[in-house]
Every structure is written in C-alpha cells, then in structure tokens.
C-alpha cells in the first residue's frame, strides 16, 4: 500500500493523489466516465472517487468480488486528506466525497465503519451538522 503521509497537501493535487495512490481508481469505470478536462477538476474527481468507493464496498458486501486492497487504499487516501490541516481539503472530503456516498444504508455503514480516526471524526462532525 502507498504511504499517504502528506504534509501541506494542496487541493489542486487531489486528482493526481487519488489516481496515483488509490488502487484501481485510475482504471475504474467511474474515473473513465469523466471527460478529459474533468480529470483536473478537483470536485468532479472527488465525486467519481466517492462513487468508486461505494461500488467497491457494495461488491465486497455482496461477495461479488473482494476489493480489500482497493478499499484499504481508498480509506487510507480519505484519512490522509482528513488529516490535512487545510480546511479546503477537509471541505472537499465533506462536500465532494461524503456527499457523494450515494449508496444503500448497509453499504454506507460498511464504508463509514472502516474510516480511520481523522476521517471518522470528520464524518461524525459532518453528519451531525457541526461543519
């Protein structure tokens, strides 16, 4: 798994961060649906990433396929972004990733249960409307 410890990550780095660091995302259906110019739009890439995570979790939950390595790297990426001191990065996670977790309750529960500490705290605050 990729080492996601980053300090001072900037929002414009997120598309590259996700496509390089999250197993299978660059070759995913969700990323492949983006038009060429959309691959550089941070919010659009984050939205596609959220859909990718939902699909992996759904397939894993239904035992269609096991995506443990890809899910693990996705959770590590979310954690790295959540640990960023930049509020704009955290806003991207809440507004473009968490908001786009559009999946069945059991799938969402699987995703959120496996969030790492910083991401879990950010999710809890976002869900409670504190942010």
User: Cα separation of 124 and 41, whole Å?
Assistant: 26
Over the stretch 91-124, which tens digit does the pLDDT of each residue have?
999 999 999 999 999 999 999 999 999 999 999 9
Question: 54 CB contacts (<8 Å, ≥6 apart)?
Answer: 100, 101, 102, 103, 107, 108, 111
* Contact predicate 39/45, CB 8 Å: yes
What's the distance, CA 13 to chain centroid? Answer: 14
DSSP 37: G
Over the stretch 48-76, which tens digit does the pLDDT of each residue have?
999 999 999 999 888 766 778 899 999 99
Give the number of other CB atoms < 10 A from CB of residue 63. Answer: 7
pTM: 0.88
Over the stretch 11-30, which tens digit does the pLDDT of each residue have?
999 999 999 999 999 999 99
**φ and ψ of 22, to 5 deg:** -105, 120
Whole-number pLDDT of residue 95: 95
Whole-number pLDDT of residue 2: 46
Whole-number pLDDT of residue 61: 84
């Amino acid at each position: 798994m990729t080492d996601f410890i980053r300090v001072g990550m900037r929002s414009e780095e997120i598309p590259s961060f996700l496509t390089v660091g999250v197993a299978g995302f660059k070759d995913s259906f969700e990323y492949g649906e983006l038009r060429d110019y959309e691959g550089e739009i941070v919010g659009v890439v984050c939205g596609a990433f959220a859909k990718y995570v939902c699909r992996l979790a759904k397939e894993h939950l239904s035992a269609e396929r096991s995506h443990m390595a890809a899910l693990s790297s996705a959770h590590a990426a979310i954690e790295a972004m959540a640990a960023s001191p930049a509020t704009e990065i955290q806003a991207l996670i809440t507004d473009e990733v968490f908001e786009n977790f559009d999946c069945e309750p059991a799938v969402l529960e699987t995703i959120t249960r496996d969030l790492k500490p910083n991401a879990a705290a950010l999710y809890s605050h976002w869900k409670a409307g504190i942010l």
